[in-house]
């Protein structure tokens, strides 16, 4: 089957969050399973040109806003699968991936250019796999072109929801400027404005999301962001496939970012990583004291309101607290205040730093992820592989991938609380710290986590089965 995956970010090209990890790893896993998979991405300014192998098209003519826009296309195999990067400097030569007033126009252009590229490459894809709101434009366009363009007659679309909180809203009067007519207008419309996400949910042939539990949650008002009615109506077209982990990138035995390596048979290297991490943050080298860590976009989604509320109590446990993240100033300021208050106990890095994320996963003891909602979550899975025990809230993919440790049966790979309250979170942190104080018990929990196989192989197989079903729709 010919599968084309469109994404607004992908490792190693450009990343703000977990979508990039998924879009980087899935095409490779599909290729390894024998599928003909390719990735399409905008050529953002920040993408390191060393990843580009060659310019394959210098005259991709895209029908755009009443004229023809000439884009270029570069080829890369840096993910391990064929990737095509669309170069349109007017839209993508900027200093970040999102955050511009014309984001809807930028990604609508990307989708239209992707469609033009399909025709240039030859046979139509069987499956066009779209991800989050930037892909909504392509779903709508393929749906509408099928009525008059036989090229798309057999092409089916799968729309994957990584996060319903980002909806790609824009002024409805722009719809016609972007070339969307009456046939798909309703699909975009939501409370008087246009939503690219809603169009994707309405016009794609099938829907998926990135964990089983989130697939259920988003059918309820609590998690549906106003779109739950669509997801309920289309629930026979919606499946949850939990993300995998790319163990070529996240493996403590080989990770090039780590000062020392380790695996399940010899954990000495983890202690070295902890020592180096304490040094890096100018913290005392007290190796027996636990490090509680967090790496995330600083948004309400990630449970930072709980961490804020419990900050004092976390410090009272005596544990170190290390955080890497950027985002809302409210949370950045809180982290700064925590660090100023306890500079020998708290280490923070405000910003995006991929190598540091690896060093924290390796050097920490406990990874705190108290998310308000979490479609899948990757850091809890990276943590278990790195022998770092996750403390998570039982929501979305966190619930699917973390099992609460049980002292009697000695099963479980982490700690999990239900209620979104600081008290419930603190209870689990205390429980984790009590276990940490018993080294043999702690080792058991670490090994339970390190043994879990979350590799992409199984998840890619599920996507392949899904693609086959969708191709028949
Ligand atoms: P989300 O996609 O909602 O941000 P995930 O857990 O799926 O959450 O994935 C987040 C990814 O982004 C992980 O690979 C994590 O290590 C990375 N990440 C998040 N914030 C930062 C940061 N400030 N620096 C480096 N990596 C980060
Ligand atoms: C989103 C979600 C996160 C998920 C990631 C990759 O950004 O917030 O939970 O792991 O996408 O699917």
Average pLDDT over every residue of 383-390 = 98
Average pLDDT over every residue of 150-159 = 97
Note the pLDDT of residue 124.
97
Closest-CA residue, ligand 1 atom 26, reads 354
Do 397 and 330 belong together in one domain?
yes
Do 438 and 467 belong together in one domain?
no
Return the structure tokens found at 99: 């955050």
Note the pLDDT of residue 287.
98
Do 213 and 284 belong together in one domain?
no
Who's near 146: CB < 8 A, 6+ residues apart?
152, 153, 155
Who's near 380: CB < 8 A, 6+ residues apart?
367, 369, 390, 392, 397, 398, 401, 402, 414
Note the pLDDT of residue 253.
98
Q: Could you tell me if residue 259 is inside a domain?
A: no
DSSP per residue over 83-110, as a string? EEEEE-HHHH-SSSSS--TTHHHHHHHH
Q: Could you tell me if residue 251 is inside a domain?
A: no
Note the pLDDT of residue 265.
97
DSSP per residue over 285-336, as a string? --TTS-EEEEEEEESGGGTHHHHHHHHHHHHHTT-EEEEEEEE-HHHHHHHH
Note the pLDDT of residue 365.
98
Note the pLDDT of residue 316.
98
Residue 252 near residue 385, CB atoms below 8 Å: yes
Percent of the chain clearing pLDDT 90 (strictly above): 100
The string of pLDDT tens digits covering residues 183-206 is 999 999 999 999 999 999 999 999
Fill in the DSSP letter of residue 124: P
Q: Residue 277: helix, strand or coil by DSSP?
A: helix
Who's near 448: CB < 8 A, 6+ residues apart?
405, 410, 411, 412, 413
Count CB neighbours of 444 within 10 A.
Answer: 17
Do 293 and 163 belong together in one domain?
no
Confidence grade of residue 351 (pLDDT, cut at 50, 70, 90)? very high
Residue for token pair 């200093």: 95
Do 314 and 195 belong together in one domain?
no
Q: Which of 8, 26, 357 to mutate to test the pocket of ligand 1 (most atoms within 8 A of CB)?
A: 357
Ligand that lies nearest to the alpha carbon of residue 350, given by its number in the listed order? 1
Cβ(353) – ligand 1 distance below 6 Å: yes
Q: Could you tell me if residue 263 is inside a domain?
A: no
Q: Which of 162, 167, 302, 380 to mutate to test the pocket of ligand 2 (most atoms within 8 A of CB)?
A: 162
Strand 36-42 and strand 83-87: the pairing is parallel
Confidence grade of residue 90 (pLDDT, cut at 50, 70, 90)? very high
Residue for token pair 């399909």: 118
Q: Could you tell me if residue 78 is inside a domain?
A: yes
Do 225 and 274 belong together in one domain?
no
Average pLDDT over every residue of 353-360 = 98
Do 465 and 429 belong together in one domain?
no
Return the structure tokens found at 274: 């902890």
Do 289 and 240 belong together in one domain?
no
Do 213 and 316 belong together in one domain?
no
CATH number at residue 117: 3.40.50.2000
Do 326 and 229 belong together in one domain?
no
Percent of the chain clearing pLDDT 70 (strictly above): 100
Average pLDDT, the chain: 97
Note the pLDDT of residue 273.
98
Note the pLDDT of residue 50.
98
Cβ(24) – ligand 2 distance below 6 Å: no
The string of pLDDT tens digits covering residues 160-183 is 999 999 999 999 999 999 999 999
Note the pLDDT of residue 7.
98
Q: Please tell me the distance from the alpha carbon of residue 324 to that of residue 331, in angstroms, as a whole number.
A: 11
The number of the ligand 2 atom at minimal distance from the alpha carbon of 371 is: 9
Return the structure tokens found at 236: 């026979």
Cβ(17) – ligand 2 distance below 6 Å: yes
Confidence grade of residue 350 (pLDDT, cut at 50, 70, 90)? very high
Cis peptide before 426 (omega within 30 of 0): no
Question: What is the domain extent for residue 345?
Answer: 268-454
Q: Which residues pair with 2 in a beta bridge?
A: 36
DSSP per residue over 452-467, as a string? ---BHHHHHHHHHHHH
The C-alpha angle 210, 214, 217, rounded to 5 degrees, equals: 160
Confidence grade of residue 363 (pLDDT, cut at 50, 70, 90)? very high
CA atoms within 13 A on the CB side of 268: 1
Q: Could you tell me if residue 255 is inside a domain?
A: no
Ligand that lies nearest to the alpha carbon of residue 382, given by its number in the listed order? 1
Of 389, 406, 281, the residue nearest 345 (C-alpha): 281
Cβ(369) – ligand 2 distance below 6 Å: no
Note the pLDDT of residue 366.
98
The string of pLDDT tens digits covering residues 34-69 is 999 999 999 999 999 999 999 999 999 999 999 999
Note the pLDDT of residue 115.
98
Average pLDDT over every residue of 325-330 = 97
Q: Could you tell me if residue 168 is inside a domain?
A: yes
Fill in the DSSP letter of residue 398: H
Do 443 and 462 belong together in one domain?
no
Note the pLDDT of residue 426.
98
Q: Which of 19, 225, 296 to mutate to test the pocket of ligand 2 (most atoms within 8 A of CB)?
A: 19
Q: Could you tell me if residue 129 is inside a domain?
A: yes
Q: Could you tell me if residue 258 is inside a domain?
A: no
Residue for token pair 């023809």: 68
Who's near 62: CB < 8 A, 6+ residues apart?
68, 69, 70, 71, 88, 109, 112, 113, 116
Total domain count, the chain: 2
b/e per residue 234-266 (b: at least 16 CB within 10 A): eeebbbbbbbbbbbebbbbeebeebebbbeeee
Do 432 and 462 belong together in one domain?
no
Note the pLDDT of residue 269.
98
The string of pLDDT tens digits covering residues 443-464 is 999 999 999 999 999 999 999 9
What's this model's pTM, rounded to 2 decimal places?
A: 0.97
Note the pLDDT of residue 57.
98
Note the pLDDT of residue 457.
92
The string of pLDDT tens digits covering residues 219-257 is 999 999 999 999 999 999 999 999 999 999 999 999 999
């Amino acid at each position: 089957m010919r599968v084309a995956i469109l994404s607004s970010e992908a490792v190693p090209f450009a990343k703000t969050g977990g979508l990039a990890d998924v879009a980087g790893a899935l095409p490779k896993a599909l290729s390894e399973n024998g599928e003909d998979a390719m990735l399409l991405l905008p050529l953002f300014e920040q993408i390191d040109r060393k990843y580009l192998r060659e310019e394959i098209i210098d005259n991709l003519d895209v029908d755009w806003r009443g004229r023809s826009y000439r884009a270029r296309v570069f080829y890369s195999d840096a993910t391990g699968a064929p990737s095509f990067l669309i170069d349109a400097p007017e839209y993508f030569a900027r200093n970040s991936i999102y955050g511009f007033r014309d984001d809807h126009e930028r990604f609508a252009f990307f989708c239209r250019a992707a469609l033009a590229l399909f025709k240039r490459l030859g046979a139509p894809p069987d499956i066009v796999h779209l991800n989050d709101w930037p892909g909504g434009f392509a779903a709508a366009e393929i749906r509408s072109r099928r009525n008059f363009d036989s090229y798309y007659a057999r092409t089916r679309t799968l729309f994957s929801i990584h996060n319903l909180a980002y909806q790609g809203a824009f002024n409805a009067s722009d719809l016609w400027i972007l070339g969307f007519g009456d046939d798909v207008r309703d699909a975009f419309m939501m409370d008087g404005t246009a939503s690219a996400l809603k169009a994707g949910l309405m016009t794609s042939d099938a829907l998926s999301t990135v964990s089983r539990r989130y697939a259920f949650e988003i059918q309820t008002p609590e998690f549906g962001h106003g779109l739950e009615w669509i997801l309920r109506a289309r629930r026979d077209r919606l499946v949850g496939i939990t993300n995998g982990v790319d163990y070529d990138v996240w493996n403590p035995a080989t990770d090039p970012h780590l000062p020392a390596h380790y695996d399940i048979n010899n954990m000495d290297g983890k202690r070295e990583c902890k020592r180096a991490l304490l040094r890096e943050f100018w913290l005392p080298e007290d190796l027996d004291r636990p490090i509680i860590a967090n790496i995330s976009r600083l948004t309400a989604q990630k449970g930072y309101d709980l961490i804020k509320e419990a900050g004092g109590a976390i410090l009272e446990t005596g544990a170190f607290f290390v955080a890497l993240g950027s985002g809302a100033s409210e949370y950045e300021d809180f982290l700064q205040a925590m660090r100023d208050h306890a500079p020998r106990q708290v280490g923070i890095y405000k910003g995006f730093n991929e190598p540091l994320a690896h060093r924290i996963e390796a050097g920490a003891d406990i990874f705190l992820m108290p998310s308000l909602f979490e479609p899948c979550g990757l850091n809890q899975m990276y943590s278990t592989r790195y022998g770092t025990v996750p403390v998570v809230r039982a929501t979305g993919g966190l619930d699917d991938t973390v099992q609460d440790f049980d002292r009697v049966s000695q099963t479980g790979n982490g700690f999990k609380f239900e209620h979104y309250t600081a008290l419930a979170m603190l209870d689990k942190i205390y429980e984790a710290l009590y276990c940490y104080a018993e080294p043999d018990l702690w080792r058991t929990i670490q090994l339970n986590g390190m043994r879990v196989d979350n590799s992409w192989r199984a998840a890619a197989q599920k996507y392949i089965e899904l693609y086959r079903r969708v191709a028949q729709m």
